[in-house]
Amino acid sequence: MTGFDWAGASVLITGGTGSFGNKMVEVLLRDYAPRRVVIFSRDELKQHEMRLRFANAPSVRYFIGDVRDRDRLNRAFYGVDVVIHAAALKQVPAAEYNPFEAVQTNIVGAKNVIDAAIDNQVSRVVALSTDKAVNPVNLYGATKLVAEKLFIQGNAYASGRDTRLSCVRYGNVIGSRGSVVPLFMEQRETGKIGITDERMTRFWITLEQGVQLVMRAVDEMRGGEVFVPKIPSMHLTDLAKAVAPGCEWEITGIRPGEKVDETLVGEDESRHTIELDDLFVIEPQFPWWTSDPWPGGRPMEEGTRYGSDNNPMQLSVEALRALIQE
């Protein structure tokens, strides 16, 4: 299954009022001509704000709903060709304090999306995941790991139908609501910024790159893959120099649930990962629905990992500053 025709398609984005959803709608309207774009979310205020932003786009529709509500999903998915699943509870401390709520949204919600997509014969479903799903040390990462497994093996339930499900997995998003950049910008006014640990590294991706990755996944997916982009990493200290030059650093210590470095492809995943020039494709370990190997690329070296600390693409202070200004 390759070469998806976006023109005339009906696209639904769960959690569509977030940073990713806003950018994806922008890209769809700018570069493609989808018949319909459905924003599915539970926040009527954010939907109102989005409706004002895209006031001249009659193809964009707004559904109030929660991924926990399978009946509402089933209603919203009728006639939809592509679902992008971006809805999630993402704040690490909030997930730890409200663990059952995180499970209900991130795991049960994922199951509901899969069931509704299969029942409504949605052609392609792509779920957004995170580097925190690799060897997770917090509940948020653990729920996203389970969600990944559900979307991958959900293809077994869709076997014999047109529905295919895959994931994309990437790191921190510059410009998103959870980015540390706005915090550093606020703190620099005081002349002092908080650094958790001077060793800390993170993967870095723009919203535009994240959207383009998702659209490529929809184009090329066959079901069960996890698409991982080759993106640059940065040291937290370099980010501090780029955003708040000359400011004093206060070392606050690693927060609960954090890692010093993040991983996008784990050592054990390398055995079933294909490396392309610009991304990795993690193939399913139990592909009952297909027997064809991924075309092209080369096997990732067994026992290696793709981490923010050993990533050959490291952003300099100057490159970070240019990205932030952009």
What pLDDT, in 10s, does the model give residues 267-289? 999 999 999 999 999 999 998 88
Inter-residue contact 122 to 80 (CB < 8 Å): yes
Enter the DSSP assignment of 253: -
User: 280, 196, 199, 271: which is closest to 233 by C-alpha?
Assistant: 199
Q: Which two tokens stand for residue 25?
A: 């709608």
Least confident range of 9-23, 265-279, 285-299: 285-299
pLDDT of residue 243: 87
- Tell me the per-residue pLDDT of 216-263, one tens digit each, with 9 for 90 and over: 999 999 999 999 999 999 999 999 999 889 899 999 999 999 999 999
CA pair distance 160, 250, nearest whole angstrom: 57
pLDDT score, position 290: 78
Return the C-alpha torsion angle 301, 302, 306, 309, nearest 10: -100
Between these two residues, 324 and 114, which has the higher pLDDT value?
114
Which residue's entry shows tokens 């390759």? 2
Residues designated as active site: 132
- Per this entry, what is the length of the chain? 326
Question: Looking at the predicted structure, is the pLDDT value of residue 212 above 50?
Answer: yes
Residues 304-316: what's their mean pLDDT?
95
- CA separation, residue 177 to residues 20, 243, 287, 325 (Å): 10, 17, 36, 16
- Token digits for 55? 């006031």
pLDDT tens track for 44-82:
999 999 999 999 999 999 999 999 999 999 999 999 999
How high is the pLDDT of residue 175?
Answer: 66
> With 90 as the cut, is the pLDDT of residue 185 above it?
no
pTM (predicted TM-score): 0.95
- Tokens 């994922």 belong to 110
CATH architecture of 10-171+204-230+266-307: 3-Layer(aba) Sandwich (3.40)
Neighbours of 95 (CB within 10 A): 24
Structure tokens at 261: 């470095």
Query: Which residues fall within 8 angstroms of residue 255, CB to CB, at 6 or more apart?
Result: 92, 196
